[in-house]
Every structure is written in C-alpha cells, then in structure tokens.
Structure 1
Amino acid sequence: MIQTRKTLRLTMLGLSAGAMLSGCAARDVNGFNREAGSLIDTGDFGNATMNNHQYMTGQKQYVYDLSQRFASEVLTTVNFAFNSSTLDQGAIDTLREQARWIRQFPEVRFRVYGHADKVGSAGYNKALGLKRANTVVNFLVSQGISRARLEAVVSFGETQPLIVTEGRERRNRRTVTEVSGFVTGHPTILDGKYAEVIYREYVNSAEPQSGLTGLQGQDFGVEQ
C-alpha cells in the first residue's frame, strides 16, 4: 500500500514537471525567451516618448497654434482642372501668398496634401493627387522656399472629398498646405522658444523704440 502511494506521488510529480516544461516551451514559441533585440522594429518604437516630449515642451500645441494662424491669414487650398496638375492663375496667386507667409517663418516645415475627385481608378487618382502636391511644392521652391522645409509625399487621392459625389467636382481636385512642425536643429528654436516664433510680430512690437528719435530731437533743438 505504501509502495503504491509512493509510485502515485512520483507519477504526479512527473506530470507536473512535464507540464512546466511544456509551458516553458510554449512561452519560448511565443517569444518570451527570445534574445533581446531579435524582434523586428515595426517603426512604432519611440513614438510614445516622442509625443510625450513634444507635449511637455509645448511643440505640439505651438504647431497647432501656428497651423490655425496660417489657415486664418492665407488660403491654404488651390484647385485644379479635371485630370490636370497644371496651376491656373488663381492657384498661382494663392501660392504666392502662401510663399510670402512661409518666408516669414524659416523655422517651420510644411506639408502639401494632394487630392483628386472620384472619376477614375483609385490608383490613378492617388498618383494624380501626389503629382498635384509635387507641383505645388515645386512652385513654392521657385518662390524662394527651401525644399527641405516642404513635403509632398502623402496623397489622400480620392478618399477625403470635400463634396461627396461620384462625378467631377472641382472642389475635390485640390491641394492643401499645412504646417507640419519645426525644422530640426534650427538655431532659433534650439532652446524651445516656439511661442516666440508663432507670435513674432507681437514679441517685436514689445521691443523699446530706438533712441535715435530723441537724439535727432536734441540736434534740432526740440524741447524734451
């Protein structure tokens, strides 16, 4: 009887050990025991830290504020003829205004989104939207904007229409220029003075006037 109990106990211990080993093997298959760094980085690593840093330094909020200011002071959209990426005179006038505004802020980057209407295949329209975005970027570059500050790599194609229709719609054939961030390593913003960039006119208006006026007044005998 005692021998039977010992045999049963040893059998149970063997089964438990087998289950533990089996669990370890399963964990190894699922990657728990893989060598550190052996997994492929999908590109998302570090995004949370980056976003936290941008919020803590205020960059995210300042990009939003500058985007709002850009949209309120100039037209951000230009439109195109059907199946065309050629700029008409109205688009040229709008882009000249955009270029004048952009030149005021050498610390800021911009992104141009290209769109198309729904006539034609999705692949063709996506390529056409990107071509329109590149046309706008090239024009802004011709106006003295550094290409390094402009991006035209994203095209929404026909997926974000202003007017929902399957037919031709000029308002859907467009590009939209938006503020995308600050130039990395620019000397003006190395210390995080994002607000000063956005409110540059207001900051400059607070500077004291030159003392030259007073000197001129004394030279002409004006009573002070």
Structure 2
Amino acid sequence: MRATLAFLTLGATVALTACSPQQIVDFNRPAGDNLDDGQFGNATMNNTLVQTGDRAMAINLNRRFAAEVDSTINFAFDSAQLDGEARAKLDRQAAWIAQYPYVKFRVYGHTDLVGSPAYNKALGMRRARAAVNYLVTRGISRARLQAVVSYGETQPLVVTEGRERKNRRTVTEVWGFLEPKRLLHDGKYMQRTYGLYVQSAQEAHDTE
C-alpha cells in the first residue's frame, strides 16, 4: 500500500513539473473557490451552488460577460490609478452589470513580478479597490461588488521578472447572486429579461 501511494505521489509530481505556473495554481485551487462568498467554506459553497444550479448559471454568465465586454483593465507601473482606457472599459463593465441587478461580481487585483510579494499583494488589492470604487460611481451597488482577493504577483499572464503591463491588471468576474427580496416584482428586471427573450427570437438560428 505504501509503495502504491509513493508511486502515485511521484507520478503527480512528475506531471506537475511539466505544467505552467498558471496550471499549477489552478491545480492547487479548491473546487468552486472563485464562487465562494466566504460564509460557508469553499467545499460547502461549491456543493450548494451545484445543487441549486447557481454554479452553472454563474459560469455561463461569466463567460457571456467576458465575451461581451473587456473584463480586464491595466495599470502603469507601481500604480493603482485608473487611466482613460481603464475608465472606458469600466464604463462598459458597469453598463453590462447594471442589466443584472441580482448578480454579484468580484474584482481580482494582480501585479507584475517586480517588488516583494507582500508589497505586490497590497498593490493588487489597491488596484481591485480602485476598480470597485469606480464602478460604484457609475451606479453599481457596492453590495454587489467585492475587491477582497488579490493574487499579487502569483498569476502573471507573461512570465518575466521585469516590468510587464499585461500582468498589472484587474479582472472582473461573476461570482454569485444576491438573495432577491421575496414576493417583490422588479419591473425593470422583468423588462430586461423579456427583452432578452425577444432579442433571442429575432436572432438567426440554424434550423438544420
């Protein structure tokens, strides 16, 4: 039995050595942690989301969000200031987010590899908060936005020890749903939902 376990451990280690840093991070990440609101623990939250169907719905919405707007903004070196390009992208994010009043979003902050891990984690958090604060000014409720996670320098898009603008970023993602008020008919939400059905009916469909 011990020999079998040792063999499996060795095999997993060999497999991971061939993976990129991002793949290794994803391998070690608990299932469902990007949809966890911090109240129940990752495993329980993942099970709850799967049973209710919210997990699949959140994943689908997140894919749609990323396809329809740019979910990533970038920053100057050692800065959490939003430039004109970043604000324009956040304006488009805010317009999309406003269409779904019961959907919650999380903003992840990242840095490049220059600087200490502690400093970069704090810088990543400042960037995430800057994005959240701007979205709030565009009319999005702060209750629907969280900047509670900073990956700091641990998830670079471009692996380099030097300055890299693509790594200095925030990423906005769908991560859950607000609990809607019971017995409350939200006319604006229903109007938007109806509009989506009408739009879908007018789109060209493959009948073959």
Whether TM-score is above 0.5 comes out as yes
CA RMSD of aligned residues (A): 2.9
User: Is 2:52 aligned against 1:57?
Assistant: yes
Question: Following the alignment from structure 1 to structure 2, what is the Cα–Cα distance between the partners of residues 100 and 145?
Answer: 9
Give the conservation status (yes or no) of the 8 Å contact 2:73–2:86.
yes
Question: Following the alignment from structure 1 to structure 2, what is the Cα–Cα distance between the partners of residues 202 and 101?
Answer: 13
User: Is 2:164 aligned against 1:172?
Assistant: no
Partner of 1:70: 65
Partner of 1:184: 179
Going from structure 1 to structure 2, the CA distance change for 1:200 and 1:131 (only over 3 Å counts) comes to farther
Question: For structure 2, which runs of at least 5 residues remain unmatched after alignment?
Answer: 1-37, 202-208
Matching residue within 142, 145, 149 for 1:150:
145
The Cα shift of 1:85 comes to 0.5
Letter in 2 for 1:150: L
The Cα shift of 1:201 comes to 3.9
Partner of 2:104: 109
Question: Following the alignment from structure 1 to structure 2, what is the Cα–Cα distance between the partners of residues 133 and 183?
Answer: 21
Deviations 1:106-127 (A, max 9, x none): 0100000000001111100000
- Using the aligned pairs only, state the percent identity: 56
| Aligned residue pairs, count | 160
User: Is 2:152 aligned against 1:160?
Assistant: no
Question: Following the alignment from structure 2 to structure 1, what is the Cα–Cα distance between the partners of residues 143 and 137?
Answer: 13
Question: TM-score, normalised on structure 2?
Answer: 0.69
User: Is 2:83 aligned against 1:88?
Assistant: yes
Question: Following the alignment from structure 1 to structure 2, what is the Cα–Cα distance between the partners of residues 45 and 77?
Answer: 28
User: Is 2:120 aligned against 1:135?
Assistant: no
Matching residue within 195, 199, 202 for 2:196:
202
Give the conservation status (yes or no) of the 8 Å contact 2:112–2:165.
yes
Question: Following the alignment from structure 1 to structure 2, what is the Cα–Cα distance between the partners of residues 197 and 59?
Answer: 22
The Cα shift of 1:97 comes to 0.3
The Cα shift of 1:53 comes to 3.3
Going from structure 1 to structure 2, the CA distance change for 1:46 and 1:203 (only over 3 Å counts) comes to same
Name the SS for the 1:134 alignment partner.
Answer: helix
Give the conservation status (yes or no) of the 8 Å contact 1:110–1:180.
yes
The Cα shift of 1:180 comes to 0.7
Give the conservation status (yes or no) of the 8 Å contact 2:121–2:153.
yes
Give the conservation status (yes or no) of the 8 Å contact 1:114–1:174.
yes
Going from structure 1 to structure 2, the CA distance change for 1:88 and 1:44 (only over 3 Å counts) comes to closer
Runs of 4+ with >4 A deviation: 43-50, 186-190, 196-200, 204-207
Letter in 1 for 2:117: A
Partner of 2:94: 99
Q: Which has the larger radius of gyration?
A: 1
Letter in 1 for 2:121: K
Give the conservation status (yes or no) of the 8 Å contact 1:105–1:197.
no
Going from structure 1 to structure 2, the CA distance change for 1:135 and 1:50 (only over 3 Å counts) comes to closer
Question: For structure 1, which runs of at least 5 residues remain unmatched after alignment?
Answer: 1-42, 191-195, 208-224
The Cα shift of 1:52 comes to 3.0
